[in-house]
Chains A and B, each alone.
Chain A
Amino acid sequence: MRQLIARRLLQTIPLLLFVSIACFALIKLAPGDPVLSFVTPNMHPEDIERIRHNLGLDKPAYIQYLLWLKELFQGNLGYSLINHQPVMDQILDRLPATAGLMGCAIALAVLIAIPLGLTAGANRNRWQDKIINLISYIGISVPLFYLAILLIYLFAIELHWLPIMGMRTIGVESPWDVIKHGILPCSVLAFGFLSVYVRYIRSSTIGQLNEDYVQIQYAFGATRRQVLFRHVMKHVLLPVITLLGMSMADLVTGAIVTETVFSWPGIGSLGMTAVKGMDYPVIMGITLFSALFLILGNLLADILYGFADPRIKSTR
């Protein structure tokens, strides 16, 4: 086991390197110029050139990449081209907002998706299944920003229960206030996640119900409910672990669209601003972070798999 983890961790390094090269190349191939984002028409050409030079943007792209890499090996993600703040600080500054929001959304989604998926799978093609399917279709097909605006209309404008945007009421520092601001974005994101999770859990449930052990349990006189929640659920949770592993990256990248609509001060909206301004150190920083967490998430899922299902461990 320890060997496995060490090997996987070592594999991360070339993988991250590859991700960073691909990301950098894409940014440089895309049209646009970071300097343009702060050029005003009445700026002198000499000033523009001087700024370009000071930012190192007049060097060839591969040199820019190597310089960036050199900084990275010294544990430095560089400075934003736009506001000159350290990229690491900016990401860490926004991490709690994003991790909190995404963590809640994913947890909520899993908690709701498991019973829904089990019910749908156990009642395949019956009315329960159809309703749950419908909900999940809506979640998959309706764009989340649209759903967000609908919810804002309903809960903020009509009912005045919840605030429209931001993470805090201005000047207020209380956890309850943050929670109140988080309810809408969290629900929107959870709905998006759960619609996908339900599909997985449903099909997994259908598969499990055909297994021999289910028939045996019935033969021993177990009720449907007992079979479903005591035995089938354990097996169904396996794919959920994979899903959660893949969602680890979401914890640090956030949700660009939802964060933007709700003006949630997370990494998603930081990334959005960076992309608009071609601010490559910030884009690279966020990409690396998310790649790292995706890899770690998958590793974690694999390790958990071993614990959850000894059959997998023994075949390794």
Chain B
Amino acid sequence: MRKSIPALLTLIILAVVISACSGNNNGNTAGNNSEASPSNTAAADQAKDGGNLILGVQADPVILNPIYAGDRVSLTIDQALYAPLFQVNNGKKTFYLADSLEPSADNLTYTLKLKSGLTWHDGQPLTADDVVFTFDSILDEKQNSFFRENLIIGGKPIQAVKVDDTTVEFKLPQVNPAFEATLVQLTPIPKHIFEGEANIEKSTKNNTPVGSGAFKFKEYKTGEYVTLERFDNYFAGKPHLDSITYRVAKDANAANLALQNGEINVKYLDPQDVSTIESTGNFDIQAYSEGRLAYLLFNEDSDTGALKKKEVRQAISYALNREELIQTVYGSSDYADPAKSFVTPDGLFHHNDVTSYDNDVDKAKELLASAGESNLKLRFIVSSGNKAQEAAALYIQQKLKAVGITVELQSMDASAYGQKFTDLKSKDYELSYAGYIMGYDPDAYRILYTTGANSNYARYSNPEVDKLFDQGAGEADATKRGEAYQQLQKIIADDAVIYPVGYTKTIVAIDKRYGGLEEAVLKPVVIFEDPSKLYMK
């Protein structure tokens, strides 16, 4: 008894502390509101110059060089530091460094015109030489860029040739409509800085990057922050903000507190945190499509072969309710649009009017009976701690029970899960809840659905599908190309290769003191396409 007294006291003290904190929190919220409102009303609508923005990021950038950047943080910082040639939104091009991009009549040559008078942050001119240098560096095997294969078509490299200071011609070995999508991701790096570097990836010059974007490099404190400052000679006009800082905030809870406290102004949010942040009244909460599909994966090649028959996959699809699933996993239909096609809405030729498998338990049972399956047992792998996966798995387990399918959940740690999921030889599971972002050209999906492809996690094989992907890749005529991809979306839905759940959205909280979000264009992964347009109200 004596021993339990300190323990009891501990509990009481903790309880008091916790309740005090949560109680005070509400009071504080109100305080913040009243503080913020005068500045809000005083804010004029037109853009003002000056001010700093602090963006919370989860980790240090891996490398501030666009030909190597693959992680979210590096890509986000590079977007402000290095201007792209052009960007594509809803099929429309916005030109940045480039002025125009024209294919030749035979679609084998693309002519890229750069804007004139472009400069790097150090004042050196940015010319066709830089574009060709960047292109060649990526193609150089010794330089280790993982973007290399994108510049190779049918085993032959694309050639970049300088015509004059502002003109580059790209010569393709064969017709490739996806080439424009490749160029979107090609961001020039400065030749005068990197020329002659034996290994650009390991170069210390990446620690003080010289870019061409709206903001130039100022300071990087490892583990703390990266600060960029305004580049006055930015070709699209002087940016409004004085600086942007990317602050490393590793712990999500602490980062949310920092957001509320004003130590961070822009940050990604998880759905479950939205109401807390929204209730402060100090933030614009923006949910926008991130071009991602969340889906239930069917492993056709498991050792039991349970999902080999398409009737079984269709039955599972009918047993589920897409809206309920979205509600369960994302908390609200605001954060994911119902998905039917494997191509995301931002993709070319996206076509969501395909077999949708609306919840129908009787039909599911019928299909199972016709396939001669009863008492099916399926294994569902889950990455433990992944809230979306855990919620989806529990929901699906319960729904499939109703049609007589037993689902066994196998929870494992994230890296074990990643390894099992990406290993095409692993046969000891049938179901998993996953997602992908493939970009806007549908040719990218080839690696997911063609026979034997490296990311064909469903182990799906259909000669017709393989043929249609080849057709789509080599067809320059947009109408015919579109037909091929529409056909593909129909077949893959009919075969129930996956069960598409939702096109998920990224949720970002932006301090209300900042404006210009529309002009800056909210974008998946990098948050702002053109941060030069942001301003402080």
Contacts and interface: CB of A to CB of B under 8 A. Distances in A.
A79 interface: yes
A299 interface: no
Interface in A147-182: 148-150, 152-154, 156-158, 160, 163-168, 170-171
A269 B6 contact: no
A141 B17 CA distance: 16
B6 A42 contact: no
Contacts of A134: 6, 9-10
Interface stretch (A15-23, A27-35, A63-71, A213-221): A27-35
Interface stretch (B218-226, B268-276, B390-398): B218-226
Contacts of A153: 21, 24-25, 257
A89 to B, nearest CB: 10
6 contacts: A36-B418, A47-B146, A47-B149, A50-B148, A148-B254, A166-B225
A279 to B, nearest CB: 11
Nearest to A130: B6
Contacts of B454: 44-45, 48
A84 interface: yes
A50 B25 CA distance: 53
Interface of B: 6-7, 9-10, 13-14, 17-18, 21, 24-25, 28, 52, 54, 59-60, 62-63, 70-71, 141, 144, 146-150, 201-202, 219, 221-225, 227, 245, 247-251, 253-255, 257-258, 260-261, 263, 413, 415-416, 418-420, 422, 436-439, 444, 447-448, 454-455
Contacts of B63: 83-84
B25 A157 contact: yes
Contacts, number: 174
A116 to B, nearest CB: 15
Given A47-B147, A138-B10, A157 B455 contact: no
Contacts of A90: 222
A41 interface: yes
A163 B263 contact: yes
Nearest to A258: B251
B250 A260 contact: yes
A170 B6 contact: no
A88 B245 CA distance: 27
Nearest to B420: A31
A155 B438 CA distance: 44
A50 B444 contact: no
Contacts of B419: 31-33, 36
Given A42-B444, A83-B62, A270-B223, A164 B250 contact: no
Given A33-B419, A36-B419, A165 B221 contact: no
Given A141-B10, A154-B21, 7 more contacts: A33-B418, A44-B150, A94-B222, A138-B13, A145-B251, A166-B247, A170-B225
A47 B263 CA distance: 40
A155 to B, nearest CB: 11
Interface in A38-53: 38-48, 50-51
Contacts of B202: 79, 84
Contacts of B146: 38, 43, 47-48, 50-51
Contacts of B17: 150
A170 B54 contact: yes
A82 interface: yes
Contact of B253 (A31, A41, A48, A149): A149
B150 A41 contact: no
Contact of A97 (B144, B223, B248): B223
Given A45-B454, A170-B245, A278 B415 contact: yes
A157 B257 CA distance: 7
Interface string A256-288: 000011111110011011000010000000000
Nearest to B18: A150
Interface centre among B149, B257, B415, B439 (most CB of A within 10 A): B415
A164 B254 contact: yes
Contacts of B10: 134, 137-138, 141-142
Given A48-B146, A166-B225, A152 B9 contact: no
